[in-house]
Copies of this chain bind each other. A is one copy, B any other.
Amino acid sequence: MDMVNQRKKNMGRQKIEIKKVEKDSNKLVTFSKRRQGLFRKASELCVLCDVHAAIIVFSPGDKLYCFGQPDTNVVLNSYIKGTTEFEDSKSAENSPTCKDYNRQYEEAQKMLETEKKKLEDVQNLAKIFNKGDWWNDSIDDMSSDQLEQFMVSIYELRRKLVERADELVMKQSVMP
């Protein structure tokens, strides 16, 4: 304790040169931390300035990471088209992503028509919801069967929501 130069707990942040990190393990750590930071900055920019943005990054392991406000594909479409008409409901409807969603939604609906377990599903769902911090924890804890039933239930709810949305003539396609 007497030494002024007593070794501190760690070295603190060091200045680094901006050049390729050669050591793979360090590179991974740096990528992970800085990618997070980059996305956070982008998020802040979008909120503060009320603008749209998208980021696409491939990790050293070639895994794809992306950020998008309001959505990566929407921003990319705007970029490709060279237009900024984000909220054009017609083009939003026609975006591939929404199409996919709608198609899959219709398929799911078909299946639902032949399902007779709806009531059971609802009951199971209610149980799950009532068990506490379901939003953060339940999904991960669910068994395969539970999950399946839960998904069916969500789809039913979704249909109801879409109906309501139609009634309200909501302008933006918040949901597919």
Contacts and interface: CB of A to CB of B under 8 A. Distances in A.
A170 interface: yes
Nearest to A102: B64
Contacts of A151: 161, 165, 174-175
Interface string A14-46: 001011110000010011001111111111110
A56 B75 contact: yes
Contacts of A173: 107-108
Given A72-B79, A148-B174, 14 more contacts: A20-B48, A20-B50, A21-B48, A35-B45, A45-B57, A47-B115, A51-B57, A54-B55, A64-B84, A67-B110, A68-B107, A107-B176, A126-B135, A151-B175
